[in-house]
Every structure is written in C-alpha cells, then in structure tokens.
Structure 1
C-alpha cells in the first residue's frame, strides 16, 4: 500500500548527537562535561523573573518579543530592526538557510565545526562545501574564500570553533571578508563570544556595521546559563534580519525564556564575574594538560579538544567510568567542557593516562 514519503533530501540529514547526561558512579560526584553548559546556577534575579512569568503561563508569549528586543537594543547600541530572536542559535541556522538557500545552492563551512551546519544544510536541500581545518585545528580562511563559487549563498565561520576551540582574529576575518562577494551571507557564529581572551579578537559589531552581508549569531545558552530555555539572537542588516524573522516559528521564544533573558541582561556584573572564573579554570586545566604531555588547540571557548583518533571511544568510556562524561566524535577526538575544579582535576588525571 502506498504511504506518504518525505523529500529524498531527508535521507542525507545526519543525526544531531547531544551530550550524554552524567553517569552516576557510586562514591563519586558525577560531572557532565559533554554539552559546554555553564555549571553555575541562574544569575541573580533570573529565577524570580521566571517564576513571575510562569504565573502567566495561560497566556501566549509576546509574539513581538518586545521587552527582550528593547533590552538587547540598549545593550548592543543597535536599532531593534538589526536583531532577530529565535529558539537558540541552532534555530537561527535553520531560519537563515531557509531564507537564503534554494535546493542546489552551496553553503561553505570549515570541518570539523558545529554539527548543526550539515544537518540544516541538508534540511533545506542545499549542498555542503566543507573546508578542512588547519593542522592546529583553526579555520583556513584562505581556503574557504577559494571554495566560494557563484552558487555559494552562505558561509559559516564558527569562532571560537566548536568543537576544537580556536578563534579567528579580527585581522584574519577582515581579510577574508574582502574576498567574499557582497551577495554571500557570512555568518560569524559567536556562541562562545564571552569566553574569548586573545589579542586581536573579533569585533563582531564593528564588522556588522562595515559589511551588510555579515550576520552575528549569539546565544544565552553558554555564558548566560540559559541552555534549558533556548534563546538566541542574530545581529544583521535590517533586510537580512527581516528575512530571518519572516521564517521564524510564531511564539518560538516562550514567555518564561523571554523573562529570563531580560533578567540575565540586567545581571551583567555577576555574569562577567562567572565568565572570568570559568576562563581562569580553563587556563588552569589547559596548563595542566600541557604539563602531562598534551598538545591541545588554543581554547577560546569553555571547552577543550583532545585529538584521539582511534582511541576516542576508549577515552570516552574511561571518562564515564571516572564520573566525567565527555562528548566523543567517533574516530576523531573528544570535546571536554570546563566545569567545577574537581571535574577539571579528574579530567586531567584521566588525560595523563592517555598522553
């Protein structure tokens, strides 16, 4: 009997693999280091704001996200029509590709990079063009510029790069943009922006003002600690922002998430203090990894990348036994999030056995 059949392109969509929950081990505190989450509780005032919003759950959320758009506009010093909100930066990827790519159009990105890129590319029927990372796990922007053709519609630059960690510099990105045709959208995916501590760091807002084809993706999931509420936003030229909003799911950013995001923006001093603590822990763990013999890529996010090749599964299993669940990428390596100091110590101890 005949049955409904989905589009053939769906057969090419890879499955998104989330970070596994921490596995409980008797006598051990278990740590989830597999999802790049912020280990701190919500910022001051956020829980209270969320509770007030919960009391109104019988009402639809504000379709226009009025309060959150206004708060972001003040925070960034940009008109509201330069912004597009969505349910996390992952949803922005889908929306932007839906708005700008027809079947057969090309999407360029480094690989390995954020695993949502190939999923969303396949979902809209576009063609992925992947450019290998350099030997030190960084974007090869020259090679990415060379890969752009007259069929290219979107380029993704994930900085810091998930899962490997290095970020591109402002000078490198400026030179790259000079080679990109103006009709090609360049997404600068800045999910880990707040953790970057390097000379010549990318000034995304400056690039946005100088290049109408540059789009910034940012999120409340990482530094702000709202991963469970799914709130992300794009900074873009008004025409691009309008296109992204046009294909968004109505009422996508829910009532409680809007309230929590606004309250988080108001708690910036506490946010910066927590981010500084995580960066200090990242630097401590990085130094310890190098001391036991690892050559790890320059970590500018809240995670490390270990190139393990065929030992990836073995390392992930050993980590689980040790009570620190990591994110393996089969045959390539493991991404390990920064969390509490005890988790870092346990991770370094494990890594020393594999060095």
Structure 2
C-alpha cells in the first residue's frame, strides 16, 4: 500500500496528465453528451447523463441556503459532520471516510495514487473508465478484460489478468453502461481473495438503486482489510450531481494514503455541498421516494421495450442500455428530433443508453421512441 515515488516525480507526472487530459478523447464534451446538449434550449428532456430528475430534496435545498450564513468560513465543520454521518450510516468511524468533489475526483485520486506506480490496472471493458484513462496517462497500463457473453463483469477473467505488475483491480458495480449488478456473494468472495494480493477499488455510484441497495455494498469489508476501497457519490439517488460530492470508504491506513495525494487535503468541497449531503443522509423519506420513482421509471422503459421486442440489459441503476436494431434510425438521432437527449458509445456500436427521468419524461421518451420502432 506504500509508494516510493518522490514528490518531484508525482508533480511532474500529475502536470503531464493535466496537460494531456483536456485534449484527450476521453474528456471531449461529446463523449458524455449529445452534440446539441449545450446550451440546453427550453423543452429539452435530458436523459443522457444519469442525473436524478427528482433531486435535490427540499431538505437539501434548505441546507444549501443555511450554509451561506457561514460562506465566509472554511468548510471544516461541515466536512467533519458529514464524515460522522457517513461513518454512522456505515457502522464505521470518520477515519474510514475521505470526502471528494464528486466520485470523479475520487477516481482521479485513485488513478493518481496507483497509476504513478506504473504497472497495470486490471478492469473489465466496457466499464466507467474515467480512472482507468487517467491512470493510463500517468504511465500505467490498463489491462482490459472483456465482459462475459451475457455482459456480466468477468471476475474469473480479472483473476487471470492479474499478475506481478498489477497495481489495482477496478470493479464498477452496478456496471456503467450496462447497469448489470454482480451477485453480492460472488463479488465479496472475489474482493476477499484478490485483496490478499492486490488493492481492489469498487465503484458503487449506483448501489442504492440495486435490488438490495446498500446491503450489496462491499463497505463492510474495509475495516479489517486495507486493500479494499469503496467509492460512492451523492449524484444519483440523492440528486446532488451539480454540487459535486462523493466519498471513499476504506481502512484508515488507506484513507491516509489517498489523502497524501489529495490536492487540498480534503478542502475541495464547499460548505453548501457538505451541508446538503448531511441533509440527504438524514432524509430517509426522500431517499426512499427517489429510489422508488427511479425504479418505476426503469420498469416503464423495460415494459415498453418488451412490448416492442427491443433487447436490453437488466439494469440495477438509473438507466437502461438497449440494442438499436429494432429502430428505423439511430435512436440518438431520432430522439434529438424529438427534443430528447440520450447517448451512445463509440466503442459499443449498435447499443444506446437512456437515463431514467421523471414519470412524465419517461412517458415522453416512450411515446417518441415508439414512432421509430
């Protein structure tokens, strides 16, 4: 878990990665949004970024306003309170929690911490590749393992891909863009076995939306195991994507390692973000409502696809990934004509992802999509 890199080496490689990333194809705007997505004209339905159309809650909005009374102060108090709330929720201590500006900052931090060591990061492909692309630009190789024939995360394949150069194993559960969840017992066994030899990072951005919710999390493993890191976000079920708040759950030894590479030592989130997140954790009613409505919207889309004979992957997230072949034209282009934004992937032709919005938005999507089936 330690690295022998000098501070000069770290700064040089970080600067190089920062210089490269803006021109990298991984970070071009149209990699994540439709070409017509910005600015958004009135009436556009945005189902392309896996945002929560129901959030933020009223309690979170009020918390943001309340935090402005202390906007002249650094956010240490809010951050400490948030770490305590997360720790209480996970039956851990605040020392097990590292706050970041969204889970993307955490992914970049993990990519920096382990990518600077060279060697390989092992992960399936396709998956959410922000951290993997960043690690590559720091000189670390991404050892890609394909998904199974049924689009599952191939844990056996990951095991076979690991070796003496492996610095980190990355798992996204539920996976993005497929939405497929790894069975909890299988993933737990995999993490316990592999973490004896390698650090394992589990991205749980969508875990609250899976059938068993946080009961499927690997967070219970971290207290006794410094080689397991769990990443979470407030962007999905809590609807705080614009406030950029995420966190790592890990053994205190590992949290300290990550913190040593964290520019600002945890001071990258605002009082407003932290206070809103605290309010979210205390608002069980809204969390349950948000989860229920997203699942209802997901089921609406799947029911329509079943009726039309459209193949799709069984999703445990706030999106559905579906095959294009039943449509008379490319679904992304077709929906743009209907003022609805969805997204496709250059590396996975023939498939499209639609995020779950409000009931009314999903009704509009289904009505529009039916014209092209």
Name the TM-score, length of structure 2 as normaliser.
Answer: 0.85
- Displacement of 1:49: 1.4
Q: 1:91 matched to which residue of 2?
A: 105
> What is residue 315 of structure 1 aligned with on the other side?
331
Match of 1:10 in 2: 20
Which residue number corresponds to residue 79 of structure 2? 65
1:143 to 135, 157, 161: 157
Among 245, 260, 266, the alignment partner of 1:246 is: 260
Distance 1:78 1:199 in 2: 18
Match of residue 118 from structure 2: 104
The match for 2:357 is 339
Partner of 2:280: 264
Aligned mates of 2:191, 2:249 — CA distance in 1: 17
Superposed displacement of residue 283, structure 1: 1.4
| 1: CA distance, partners of 2:123 / 2:38 | 31
Range with greater deviation from structure 2 (171-180 or 262-271): 171-180
Q: Quote how far apart the aligned CAs of 1:7 are.
A: 3.9
Out of 40, 47, 52, the position equivalent to 1:33 is 47
Structure-2 change in CA distance of 1:123 and 1:178 (3 Å) = same
- SS of residue paired to 1:289: helix
Unaligned segments of structure 2, at least 5 residues: 1-12
Q: Which residue of 2 aligns with 1:78?
A: 92
1:227 aligns to 2:255 (yes or no): no
Whether the aligned pair in 2 keeps the contact of 1:106 and 1:151 (CA below 8 Å) is: yes
Question: Separation in 2 of the partners of 1:68 and 1:259?
Answer: 7
Please state how far the C-alpha of 1:259 moved relative to its aligned partner.
1.1
In the alignment, structure 1 residue 329 sits paired with structure 2 residue 345? yes
Instruction: Decide which structure has greater helix share.
Output: 2
Q: For residues 117-160 of structure 1, what are the alpha-carbon distances to aligned partners after superposition, in whole Å with 9 as ceiling and x for unaligned?
A: 33222232211111111232221111011101111111111011
Partner Cα distance (1:167, 1:245) in 2: 29
Alpha-carbon separation, structure 2, partners of 1:116 and 1:194: 21
> 1:319-348: per-residue Cα shift (whole Å, max 9, x none)?
111121012212522211001223223333
> How far has the Cα of 1:97 moved from its partner?
2.5
1:248 aligned counterpart, secondary structure: coil
Alignment partner, residue 50 of structure 1: 64
Partner SS, residue 50 of structure 2 = coil
Match of 1:153 in 2: 167
Counterpart of 2:145 in structure 1 is: 131
The answer to whether the 8 A contact 1:33-1:337 is kept is yes
**CA–CA distance in 1 between the matches of 2:112 and 2:171?**
18
Alignment root-mean-square deviation, CA: 2.9
Gap regions ≥5 residues in structure 1: none
Conserved 8 A contact 1:327-1:336:
yes
Equivalent pair of 2:207/2:216 in contact (CA under 8 Å): no
Q: How many residues matched?
A: 349
Q: Structure 1 residues 297 and 254, CA, compared in 2 at 3 Å: closer, same or farther?
A: same
- How many angstroms does 1:23 deviate by? 7.9
Partner SS state of residue 228, structure 1: helix
